[in-house]
Amino acid sequence: MLTPTERAEAAVRLLEQEYPDAICALQYKKDYELLFATRLSAQCTDARVNIVTKELYTRFPSLESFAAATPDEIEAIIRPCGLGKTKARDLHAAAQYLLEHHDGKVPGTMEELLKIPGVGRKTANLILGDLYGKPAIVADTHCIRLSNRIGLVDGIKEPGRLERALRPIVPPAASNDFCHRLVLHGRAVCTARKPMCDKCCLREICKTGSETT
């Protein structure tokens, strides 16, 4: 019987072999663009976000242009991502906040990131991992689903609790890429409705997969 730490280390190794290129699916060129895209991805697919942000960053090519726009102008473009009014308000306020408090740069600490309007721990962790190369656990829907199925945790569905549970067992240096690979695996194999356990690279160490053997 594997311990959670042993299972996590094995999952890190096996997913690295299966998905050697662990990259964020959200497209961006500037630091704040990743911040905004992650906010837009809430209850929306990365593919749709990438379509929307292409137009968004053309219409508003700088933080200054975002800050000078009205939330309604931003919402008109991001509406396909859902929650348009809330997300537009957050992007507008975040642009103003970054210009006022950080000279237009996205900060690199959890404490400072969480002060930005619309930024929660999921977004903050993604920024810390992808922009600053720091250990990060991005507790999105894929991470929650797969962590429970594999047996890294048992019945933990709340993102904050999951993050706290995974940090001690996932090697810190591998944590950010591990979360990206969970997304890739969750989309390709360990899907929400019909997981393809017979094709899963984690089956031998997966608590759920081993039960179906």
The 3-state secondary structure of the chain reads CCCHHHHHHHHHHHHHHHCCCCCCCCCCCCHHHHHHHHHHCCCCCHHHHHHHHHHHHHHCCCHHHHHHCCHHHHHHHHHHHCCHHHHHHHHHHHHHHHHHHHCCCCCCCHHHHCCCCCCCHHHHHHHHHHHHCCCCCCCCHHHHHHHHHHCCCCCCCCHHHHHHHHCCCCCHHHHHHHHHHHHHHHHHCCCCCCCCHHHCCCCCCCHHHHHCC
- The answer to the question of whether 201 is labelled as a binding residue is no
81 labelled ligand-binding? no
197 belongs to an annotated ligand binding site: yes
Active site residues: 122, 140
Q: Using CA atoms, how far apart are residues 62 and 68, in angstroms rounded to an integer?
A: 10
User: Residues within the annotated binding site?
Assistant: 190, 197, 200, 206
User: Residues within the annotated binding site for [4Fe-4S] cluster?
Assistant: 190, 197, 200, 206
